[in-house]
Structure 1
Amino acid sequence: MFLLLLKSLFGLQQGKPYVFDRVLPPNTTQEQVYNACAKQIVKDVLEGYNGTIFAYGQTSSGKTHTMEGKLHDPQLMGIIPRIAHDIFDHIYSMDENLEFHIKVNAGCMECSSCFPSFFLVSKTNLAVHEDKNRVPYVKGCTERFVSSPEEVLDVIDEGKANRHVAVTNMNEHSSRSHSIFLINIKQENVETEKKLSGKLYLVDLAGSEKVSKTGAEGAVLDEAKNINKSLSALGNVISALAEGTKTHVPYRDSKMTRILQDSLGGNCRTTIVICCSPSIFNEAETKSTLMFGQRAKTIKNTVSVNLELTAEEWKKKYEKEKDKNKSLKNVIQHLELELNRWRNGEAVPEDEQISAKDQKNLEPCDNTPIIDNITPVVASISTEEKQKYDEEIASLYRQLDDKDDEINQQSQLAEKLKQQMLDQEELLASTRRDYEKIQEELTRLQIENEAAKDEVKEVLQALEELAVNYDQKSQEVEDKTRANEQLADELAQKSTVLSATQRELGQLQELSNHQKKRATEILNLLLKDLGEIGGIIGTNDVKTVTDVNGVIEEEFTMARLYISKMKSEVKSLVNRSKQLESAQIDSNRKMNASERELAACQLLISQHEAKIKSLTDYMQNMEQKRRQLEESQDSLNEELAKLRAQGTVLDKEKEHLTRLQDAEEMKKALEQQMESHREAHQKQLSRLRDEIEEKQKTIDEIRDMNQKLQLEQEKLSADYDKLKIEDQEREMKLEKELQTLHNLRKLFVQDLTTRVKKVRMHSCHPTYCNPPVHIITKWDLFFNIKSNSMKTIGFGEGGVTTVYLKGYSFALLKP
């Protein structure tokens, strides 16, 4: 009967119920686990029964912790060390007439191949055989007699030292092999000579793994595959035993199931500890583990005591079986008589028919001989015959072991041959698939080759057109470059002229300022002189005509000289200003023309840049296509290399070889053609790149020159604006000065008119007592507003002198 124990189920969602004998939560102590599932088995083993405890579950679910724990820690030690202590405690408390022989061995089953090797402390690969009772055992294993729990723990430590452990993403100390610890206990009663024997298998299985979660690689990945395969063999045995309808149970698929054959459906009391991970991350693995335990719970074992009988017990058993045989023969004889009567057509009454109750009270028939009477009495066997029989039995056992070894070797050889045949079939199938794929790929490559040829032709045509267009554009760029250079030269000349004009304008402005200063000084002197004349006229008494005429004539001569000089200077300034204005207008007109030409050049440059950009993009696209063609060529080369590597396999099929040779020749032709196209394409692309680099350098130079011209133009524009502003300021300043002179003229006219009136009142000549308004005896000074210019007219008829000052005119009359 099985006792299944669920050690650490936690956190699963509600769903399908699973029924087990005991459920232990994660906070269960090691002592509680031992008392629940292992303590009773120790008593059963000491009473002559076989027992097995093994832990099953996924990796990192606590199997090794449950079975071993910390061996030398009283609180955390697992089932195996507690059983060792418990066995000796029971032995010490039993009858003193009992003699015990305890042998132990610790072995590991490495999962590094399809047929795991079983080795003990010596790491020797051992074979599994069967004894005379067809119980599997490991031939040649080293068993050690122990007399204390400490010696048992030493053997366990040696076994753990030989167990391989690796690191995975789910377990830092993941066991890479199955651990099997066997305790063989034989006891004999010294007084009654009664012998009992019991075996206890303590198994720590390697955990099932999901590679996507453990992240196993390399040798660890191979071990994980073999672990899962070994556990799959265990699952197949459990399934076959659980169904109960299959006649064949695959114990021989794995050495582990072969060793545990008695524990699974045989003469053994077995406890399975189902270890589950408490994480919801492992829910699928936990459900699979629970399903395994559910199936295993339905297996039924037939348990019997391993008792070794004495000679008297064997004799009593023989007599008992002999009596039973006699009674059964009597029943057979009566039933045969009854059957004959029925066959002869005779009806047998119910009281004469044999029932189950009457079978024990039947007597032998008279007309039927009893076999036992014929059977001779068993004679006593001599010692020599017994030795002879023992030797024959030993030789037969040796032959049986040899045959078993031969069967194992033949089985392994058959499995290897079967695996090789499967590999060859798979290789043949893969070769056929590869051949079909190669045919399809060859067809596709032929189609792609034709398409590539067409595309290459189109690309070559496009490249030719591009080259022609590029030459045309290059010629246009050269023309525009020359035109731009001419414009740059003209702009430089215009800049030179403009700078010269600006220098001349500056000189003229300085000259104009100097002339204005001199005109201002002359006017100030003139006004001063006129003021003095008016003062003389208003303040002095009337002098003699000769003195007055002399003084006035001198003063007016000086004024006339100053005025004539001012007139010539102002006239030259006006002419120079007109020339400068006309030169500035011409410069502005030329500047505007240069700006328009520069804008046209910039537009042409931007157009050329756009065309060059489009050509560059097109060249990049062609480069990408070339790279794609090169990549396709590389892939074709790789596929060709693969085809060459598979040539050794394809040599077995002549038809395939011929087709592959054709494909290879076609491949070479395609490679040569693609290589020629690629070289031509590469040369043309390199030539176009060189030309594009040269044109790009030319464009960069033109762009730099254009930027310099733009900077010079901006500088000239700024200087022009500055000069224009200065000119406007000068005009405003001149207008202010003229306005000031106009005001002074008004004041001068008013003052002079007043003084002339006073002179008339004091000096009236007798001859001209009643003269006209414009006739004066000596000098008559009058003013008229004539024009905005200044000029001097010499003495004319009648002795009249007319002087025009800007905005005014006055006349001097000589009598």
Structure 2
Amino acid sequence: MSATNNIKVVCRFRPPNAIEQREKSEIVVAFDDNLSTVQLRSAQLSSGPEKDGFTFDRVFPMGTKQQEVFDYGVKDIVKDVLDGYNGTVFAYGQTGSGKTFTMMGADIDSDELKGIIPRITEQIFQSIVESDEHLEYFVKVSYMEIYLERVRDLLQPQNDNLQVHEEKSKGVYVKNLSDYYVSSAREVYEIMRQGGAARVVTSTNMNAESSRSHSIFLITIRQRNTETGAQKTGNLYLVDLAGSEKVGKTGASGQTLEEAKKINKSLSALGMVINALTDSKAKHIPYRDSKLTRILQESLGGNSRTTLIINCSPASYNESETLSTLRFGIRAKSIKNSARVNAELSPLELKALLQKAQVANASYQKTIAALEAELAVWRSGGHVEPSDYAVAGSDKAGATAPKQPPTSPTPSTPSTRPMTPVNPAIDSLKELDSRPQTPTVIGLDKDEREEFLKRENELSDQLAERERALNAAQKLIEELKEELAFLKEQEATTSKENKAMSAQLNELRLQVERLDYDNKEGVITIDILKEQNLDSKNELEELKKTIADLKSSQKDVSTEDKEKRKQEKMALMMAQFDTQGTFSEKDEQLRQILAKLDTIDSAGAVSTLTVDDITQVRRQLAEGQSLIRDTVDRLRQRQEENEMITRRKDELEGRLAALEAEYEELLEKTIHDEETSNVDLAESMADLKNKLEAQYAAKRDAHVNEVADLKQQLEMKGNELRSLNASIDSLKGVNEELKRAFAVTSAGIEGGKNLAESAQDLERTRKAINVQLAEFDGVKKSLMRDLQNRCEKVVELEIQLDEIKEQYNNVIRNSNSKAQQKKMAFLERNLEQLTLVQKQLVDQNSALKKEAGIAERKLLARNERIQNLEALLQDADRRLAMQNQRFEAQLQAVKDRLDQARAQKAATTSSLSFGRIAKPLRGGGGAATSAASGPTPVSGGGMSANPLSRLQNEEGMKAVAEGAVVSHDDGVRRSPGDRGVATMQRGWGQKSSGGSLAGVKRIAAGSVKEGGRGGKGKGGVVDARSRVLLEFF
């Protein structure tokens, strides 16, 4: 039941991408009305068959939906796989042409954007639901990629160098590739996401998510007829090839460039295989040149129904790549595959074939006996009539023999006699072989080929083991190198630390010795300083008493001199301000004016005044009054200034007192410090002299400045007094004018009309003048008092300044003699003390020499012991640190590996744990359902949702397929384990597709008993499973 067919090739064009639009590329392809031929602009200009275009099974222009590509391109292949054929769908094209979009889609959960693989998955489970009820299916999937010519399991990424093997019963397969049972499209999607996350992708100039490997998604569907026991197995390879690349366009470099080289190399090997398959003269097909062509060996010219989807760009920017892709598709379209059903005969079919073969064998035995008898007659020289010839199928040879079909002789071995009849049952057995041969051109016999494949597989396994051992050895070498470098670095650092610690230890020893010596000297110095301190205290007390006596005697003597000097200076100062005569003269003139005004008040004199005279007198009086007011205001201001000067004088006196106190304190402190210190007294006294001179100069300058300021203020006051005298002189002139006015008015007072009013005015004027004169007298007296007080203060300050000068000179004169005396006394005391110390040292020297010898020996022994212990301690610390670091490094490496293994195991086993249990899927009797993920049927129309039932059903399948054949009551040969499983299945379906726990226990117990009676064979597997079930419950 084989069928020869060509590879189905469909072509799909994607819309222009952003790069092509940026380059302003044009559309260079055109399609015919039937959408089967595509014409390329550059191909039209050439001659030959390409001028008329490239014809494929179907051409999908830009904007074609995913559903349309699936419906025409690959929808029919699902039915073929369910019927037991192998199928392959792979996408080919340059990088960025839309291969991954076609196969996987942008979003597998979107009805519009999901690709071919999700749609095939949904179609598989939909077809299982619509199949007959007596058909049972097992679906399992695998996911791998070919990256840098290494096969990597995407569901177990740690398996990154799997080997490709070939066996007669299994064909070409990948050893140790993980597979997972699935029961719905949702589980397949989960596996696809898991594997897609582990796939290698990177960004290039042509594609932001460029696939750097060929991915192969394998779906294996095993169909079992529950009525006859026949099984069929179909494998569906869904291949997403990595795109061919031009380095100039992709900008690949480094690791990306190495990936591009491997990709182009594997695609080149694929092209070489296709060229060899389409070349009738080719004697060798180079399947083994690449892992890709080796895995797809049966898809290319072998046992498979293959669909090739070539993805192209319609833009002129990628015109050369599009032309190469179209030529690849045309070559691949001429490949012929011989697809056959991968069937396994059921026991009934094998029984029927055996019965037919037995009947045919009996007929052949009769024919052989007749021919041998005829041959004996001929050899004996006899003659056999033509009517008596032995003919196969005749009554003579055996009536039960089946009729022989006509046969033709083999062209390579012609013969004159007819061929020995061939049993048609044997022909049917050949047609129902478990699987067709893998395509090959090596001229080997079957036994030699099988031996060759076994040897090849063994060598591949050995090569893989050697590679793993080499990788492990390289890792070990790297680790040892790292450890050696670490140890060298540790040794260098340890030696440096050792040298540094030794130098530090020597320095510490010298410091200890130095500190001991300094300590002894310090004790001696402390004793000396204590004695010096006592002497200094006594001398200081005596000096304090002397200073107190001198101060008391000086106060008594200086008070009398101070009073005399004060009186003399006051006399000189007041003589400079001879203002008494001036004021007295002005007072006398004012009194005369007032007397004249009194004489005017008489009756005889008033009559002589005129109105103009009176007016003029009034004006002059007003002016005099205004001048008097101004003079009074100026006097008041001067009084305020005098008060301010008084306050300033008080402040200066306070500062002077503070400075004197500081001077005394500094003097005492300096004397005390100089007495207690052990420095040269001459230098210290010179420093003290300089300090005192500086302080005295500062204070003297301050006092001189203050005296100068006070003198300037006194001069200003004298000037003001002189101006006041001038104003009084002006008032005197006014009075004289008034006298003349009164004289004139006395002559003409007889003609005055308002004499009474004038008299009253004069009276008021006289009174006002009297009041002002009284105020002026008071201001004058207060000003004189204030002036006298200020003069007294100035005199006192000058006297104090002279006293300070005298004290300073006395201190300077006395300091040199006292310093010398103190120095001599200090040296005498030191000499006495040194004499005593020398005596003590002489006495102690002999004793110390003996003790020093003993102490030296002890110290040497102790130092040697300490050095030995320190060396041992450092050695132990170094070894311990090295062991700790090595242990920590090993522990960290183990932790990292453990975490990595756990992460990988968690990423695979946790998310894909559902795929470790076989899930039989029963047909739904042709009832369609709209569920995308497919139903979960149980026994009798559905799949069991219980993992335990799935396990039992799977074991039942194994028992049926592999068990030893024995006779049974119903005529069907079963194994003891198969009877147990059948009992389990019948009991399992008794009650709501699974029954109760008690039923399970009962069924399992029955299976164990049946297995015990069977004793041997494959039934033991079921027995063990049943015992596990009993222990579980």
TM-score above 0.5: no
Q: Under TM normalisation by the shorter chain, which class is it?
A: 0.3 to 0.5
Per the normalisation by structure 2, the TM-score is 0.33
Per the normalisation by structure 1, the TM-score is 0.42
Q: Which structure carries more relative contact order (alpha carbon 8 Å, separation 6+)?
A: 2
